[in-house]
Structure 1
Amino acid sequence: MKTLYLMRHGQTLFNKLEKTQGACDSPLTAKGIEDAKTAKQFFEEHQMHFDHCFSSTQERASDTLELVTDQPYQRLKGVKEWDFGIFEGESETLLPKTYYTDGSYGDFFVEFNGESATKFQARVIRTLKETMAQVSDGENTLVVCHGAVMLMFMQSLFSMEKIAKEISFHNCAVLKLTFDNNKFEFVEQVK
């Protein structure tokens, strides 16, 4: 059995300003940097070792990973954040409210040069399965990615109702999953 730790990046300037941040990027805030350092301490205190480390290709994820560990890592395009098209960098108040009720924006962004929920989710699941297939049994893998990546991935395992009750996708959140026989199982939220 293989273990996957899925982690969200630290707080960014756009998170703080409540601006839409998918394909675009913004730097980590002082709080984001401190939260990543706290996550590093958490991993060390709990003697959590990672045999493999990966991050999204976006700076906020790779910067977080570099604060969490000194280990070498690989970037994965397949776990970059949802592309919100022309809504990138705009106020989050302009986005449909379905995300908070259904856990998805559906195909809303397609007509605005963005990505559909279905294609986004399929990309994330495919990338995580391909990545974990290359890992040996008994090894631990850390992937630093994004809130919507984590949410849409977890929706492939649970209902939105269960996710809303049991899981938080706050900055620097960490979820533990196992991977065996090409199947993921959620274990717990560790941070």
Structure 2
Amino acid sequence: MRLYLMRHGETDWNKEGRIQGSADIKLNQNGIDLAYKTLEGIEKAGIKFDYIYSSPYIRALKTAQILSKGSVPIETDQRIREMDFGKYEGIELAQIATKPEYKNMHRFFVEPDAFVPEEGMESYEEAFQRIDAFYQEKIAQDMERYEHVLIVCHGAIIRSFIAYLCHKSIGDLWNLKQPNCALNIFEITKEQVDLIEMAKIVYDKSLLPNRKYT
């Protein structure tokens, strides 16, 4: 099976550099355009998805719907939703990096091994547990049914997914750049998992925002 992990298109909170997490923010116009441009690039590459899994959050689901063109089945799954950042959702990343009261949340990005989830937040371990459950129930069972499967979800959960599949440590996560609509491509068999390409951009790279933690 060829497995594709894709981050959703851009939202206003992405553009403003705000933490989204469980906040259900819709795509902005640029995010919609990126999804359509990505679809064009995928079609030019001759890739045809057999099945799509999407986070239930609207920014991911809308991206998945654009890529499906109404002809590829889409299944939403709560286990691939973005991580929950509790009281920090909506706060600008620039503030996270500079204000002492946000020191623990800053650790999430720069020192994830030292991050301690506060009330209402999710730990990396919890995220890995739901990724594992999703993978074993869905992807492992899809190998003989589908050749090309797309998962549309979110920045933090994609990084966690890559770490899970490639056996990377939590400390490596934020070295993995994940721009909006970037594709991570895996070849998966029952015996092994191979990362073919990471954060592949199939649309015009001049459209890429230059923002921290992308």
Query: TM (normalized to structure 1)?
Result: 0.87
> 2:177 & 2:194 partners in 1: Cα distance?
17
Q: Are residues 1:131 and 2:152 paired? A: no
Aligned to 1:143: 151
CA deviations on 1:96-153 (whole Å, 9 max, x unpaired) are 3334434x376533x2211111111221232133211221436110010001011112
CA pair 87-35 structure 1, distance change in 2 beyond 3 A: same
CA pair 35-124 structure 1, distance change in 2 beyond 3 A: same
**AA matched with 2:136:** K
Aligned to 1:59: 58
Helix, strand or coil for the counterpart of 1:112? coil
- Mark the runs of 5 or more structure 2 residues left unpaired by the alignment: 97-101, 202-214
CA deviations on 1:59-101 (whole Å, 9 max, x unpaired) are 1000011112222210011100001112122223335333443
CA pair 154-181 structure 1, distance change in 2 beyond 3 A: same
CA contact (8 A) 2:159 2:173 kept: no
> 1:105 & 1:14 partners in 2: Cα distance?
26
Aligned runs of 1:1-191 on 2, under 5 Å?
Answer: 2-70=1-69, 71-92=72-93, 93-94=95-96, 95=102, 96-102=105-111, 104=112, 107-109=115-117, 111-137=118-144, 139-156=147-164, 157=166, 158-159=168-169, 164=175, 167-181=176-190, 183-189=192-198, 190-191=200-201
> 2:174 & 2:197 partners in 1: Cα distance?
12
The structure that has the greater radius of gyration is: 2
CA contact (8 A) 1:107 1:115 kept: no
Identity %: 28
> 1:97 & 1:163 partners in 2: Cα distance?
12
CA pair 28-106 structure 1, distance change in 2 beyond 3 A: farther
* Alignment root-mean-square deviation, CA: 2.2
- Mark the runs of 5 or more structure 1 residues left unpaired by the alignment: none
**AA matched with 1:153:** F
